[in-house]
Structure 1
Amino acid sequence: MHAVVVTIEVLPEKRNAFRDAILTNAAQSLAAEPGCLTFDVLENPKSPEFLLYEIYRDAEAFREHLAMRHFHDFDRASSEWVVKKQVAEYGRLEGKP
C-alpha cells in the first residue's frame, strides 16, 4: 500500500472552482484507475486549504495516476490557483509490530 497526503492552499477567490475541480479529479481517479483505492478530499472550513488523502495499491499505481490525462487536465486548470502545495508519500511498514 502507498499513501499520498497533499495539502494545498488556494487563492481565496478560487476556492469554489478548486473544490469543483478536485472533486472531479478524485471521482475520475477512482473510476478510471484500478490502483487508486481511496481518494478523499477534505476542506478546512476556516481557510482556503484542502487536504487530499489518497491510497494506492503501490507506488507504481501512484506514478500511473500522475500520468493520467484527467490528472494533467486538473493540474493545468488549477495550477494558477495554488498558493502553496505540499506532497508527502508513505509506504506501509512490513514486519512485526
Structure 2
Amino acid sequence: MLILHVTVQVKSEHVSEFLQLARYDAEHSEEDEPGCLRFDVIQDRDDPNRFYFYEVYRDEAALEAHRQTPHFKLYAEKVQPWLAAQPERRFGKNLIPSDAAWR
C-alpha cells in the first residue's frame, strides 16, 4: 500500500479551472485504474487556493501506472502555469485500517 499526500497552492484566478481538471483526474483515477484505491481532492478551509490530494495506491507499480494515464498527463501538463508554488509531496505508509480493509 502506498499513500501520497500532495499540497497544491493555486493562483486565485485559476481555481475554477484547476478544480475542473482535478475532478477529471480524480474521477478517472478511481474509475479506470484498478491499482488506485482512493483519490480525494480537499480544499483548505481557511485558504480557498490551497488543495490537498489524498491518494492511495496498491503499490509503486500502480502509482507509476497512474502517472502514465492520459488523464494524469493532461493534469500535469495543464496545471503547472496555474500554480503559485511547486506542489509538496509526501509519501506515507498505511497503519490503520489494515491493508486488507481496502478494496
Settle same-fold status: TM greater than 0.5. Answer: yes
Matched, 1:56 2:57: yes
**1:45 and 1:32 mapped to 2: Cα distance?**
30
**2:60 and 2:93 mapped to 1: Cα distance?**
8
* Aligned residue in 2 for 1:74: 75
Q: 1:29-83: per-residue Cα shift (whole Å, max 9, x none)?
A: 1111000000011001432000000000011101111111110011111110012
Partner residue of 1:86 out of 85, 88, 102: 88
Secondary structure of 1:54's partner?
strand
**2:70 and 2:12 mapped to 1: Cα distance?**
27
Q: CA deviation at 1:91?
A: 2.9
Go from structure 1 to structure 2 and tell me whether the alpha carbon gap of 1:13 and 1:32 turns closer, same or farther (over 3 Å shift): same
Matched, 1:19 2:19: yes
The number of aligned residues is: 93
**2:65 and 2:55 mapped to 1: Cα distance?**
13
Letter in 1 for 2:70: R
Go from structure 1 to structure 2 and tell me whether the alpha carbon gap of 1:91 and 1:45 turns closer, same or farther (over 3 Å shift): closer
Percent sequence identity is: 30
Segments ≥4 residues shifted beyond 4 Å: none
5+ long unaligned stretches in structure 1: none
**1:44 and 1:17 mapped to 2: Cα distance?**
17
Considering fraction of residues, name the structure with more strand. Answer: 1
Secondary structure of 1:83's partner?
coil
5+ long unaligned stretches in structure 2: 96-103
* Aligned residue in 2 for 1:31: 31
Q: CA deviation at 1:92?
A: 3.7
